[in-house]
């Protein structure tokens, strides 16, 4: 917004809804209100203003903005459910139930796969690894006719929204898959050198000094990392290798499937912005659902991947 005001001090932007950085914001830049309601329903923005029917714009100084926290029943026992809203939600649940509860596949055992709330010490979880497996398989299928081999898949940890729920009869529903990948992001296939892959993996261990922590999940590759004597980057990736155990070549070009959020440098992964896009591989949600269906149909019920793609090496 400050850049906009330098370009056009008399701009007509009255209100700016910010997102993706998961921060609280309720400020003004010039005459523009800027709000952001944290993330995951922790707050909500409430803005009121008056429109002038002659100018088709907000009346001068009429905009008022607030960002309110959302308190749970435990945090504020005096809060009561709104009966009207409850009825709307119940009606919506009933209408969507035939789709949400549709069985799309089966798991090997009747046990939920871990998600981001149950990461291991190296920030890896079963559902996250499964999502990357699905995206790698989907990208390879989508680009097969182009004679383009996709080597690896990477996704951001925040892009895997929940663990994969498995019912007692081992069934997996469309709704469970949707909970994991609710975004509908386009999957992009990009070309990256081995050096760029090292660089982007190292970006997840940088200290940005603002409390922001992010991480990547992968398929098709594994890596070793160790402690690094540098406060700006306390850990460093020392070796990256394919599933065959062979180290990647720093000068060789590889094809990596990522989501469009990462391609735009989301979650501070700016290295992806320099990667050249060579293909697309569908929508992340659809790819994940299809993978579960295909695996089940092929007699390979969904099993929790082994969490061995990030390996900490002490003393190097």
Query: Is CATH 3.90.780.10 the classification given to domain 104-312?
Result: yes
Is residue 316 very low, low, confident or very high in pLDDT (cuts 50, 70, 90)? low
For 46-99, what is each residue's pLDDT tens digit?
A: 999 999 999 999 998 899 999 999 988 888 999 888 999 999 999 999 999 999
Q: Summarize the confidence of residues 135-152 as an average pLDDT.
A: 95
Residue with tokens 């996704």: 155
**In whole angstroms, what is the distance from residue 77 CA to residue 212 CA?**
31
**In whole angstroms, what is the distance from residue 146 CA to residue 49 CA?**
52
**In whole angstroms, what is the distance from residue 111 CA to residue 59 CA?**
57
Phi, psi (5° rounding) for residue 127? -70, -40
253-259 and 152-156 as β-strands: parallel, antiparallel, unpaired?
parallel
Is residue 151 very low, low, confident or very high in pLDDT (cuts 50, 70, 90)? very high
Q: Which of 259, 263, 260, 261 is nearest to 275 (CA)?
A: 263
Token pair of 188 as six digits:
């992009």
Give the helix/strand (H/E) hosting 68. strand 64-69
**In whole angstroms, what is the distance from residue 58 CA to residue 259 CA?**
37
3-state secondary structure of 279: strand
Which percentage of the chain shows pLDDT scores above 90?
A: 84
More confident residue, 263 or 211: 263
According to DSSP, residue 157 is labeled: G
Token pair of 226 as six digits:
């160790």
For 173-227, what is each residue's pLDDT tens digit?
A: 999 999 999 999 999 999 999 999 999 999 999 877 655 678 999 999 999 999 9
- Is the confidence at residue 22, as pLDDT, over 90? no
Q: Summarize the confidence of residues 104-130 as an average pLDDT.
A: 96
Domains in the chain: boundaries: 2-69, 104-312
What is this structure's pTM?
0.81
């Amino acid at each position: 917004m400050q850049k906009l005001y330098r370009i056009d001090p008399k701009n007509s932007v009255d209100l700016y809804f910010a997102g993706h950085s998961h921060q609280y914001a309720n400020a003004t830049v010039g005459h523009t209100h800027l709000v952001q309601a944290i993330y995951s329903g922790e707050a909500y923005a409430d803005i009121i203003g008056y429109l002038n029917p002659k100018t088709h714009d907000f009346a001068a100084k009429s905009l008022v903005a607030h960002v309110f926290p959302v308190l749970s029943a435990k945090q504020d026992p005096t809060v009561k459910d709104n009966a009207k809203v409850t009825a709307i939600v119940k009606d919506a649940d009933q209408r969507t139930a035939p789709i949400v509860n549709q069985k799309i596949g089966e798991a090997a055992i009747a046990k939920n796969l871990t998600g981001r709330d149950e990461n291991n010490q190296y920030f890896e979880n079963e559902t996250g690894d499964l999502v990357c497996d699905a995206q790698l398989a989907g990208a390879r299928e989508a680009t097969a006719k182009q004679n383009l081999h996709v080597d690896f898949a990477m996704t951001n940890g925040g892009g895997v929204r929940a663990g994969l729920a498995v019912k007692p009869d081992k069934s997996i529903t469309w709704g469970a898959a949707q909970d994991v990948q609710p975004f509908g992001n386009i999957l992009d296939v990009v070309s990256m050198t081995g050096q760029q892959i090292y660089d982007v993996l190292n970006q997840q261990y940088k200290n940005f000094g603002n409390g922001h922590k992010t991480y990547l999940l992968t398929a098709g590759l594994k890596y070793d990392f160790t402690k690094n004597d540098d406060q700006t980057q306390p850990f460093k990736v020392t070796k990256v290798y394919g599933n065959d155990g062979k180290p990647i070549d720093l000068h060789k070009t590889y094809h990596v499937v990522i989501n469009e959020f990462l391609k735009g440098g989301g979650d501070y992964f700016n290295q992806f912005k320099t990667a050249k896009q060579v293909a697309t591989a569908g929508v992340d949600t659809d790819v994940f659902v299809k993978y579960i269906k295909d695996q089940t149909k092929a007699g390979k019920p969904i099993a929790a991947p082994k969490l061995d793609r990030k390996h900490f090496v002490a003393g190097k």
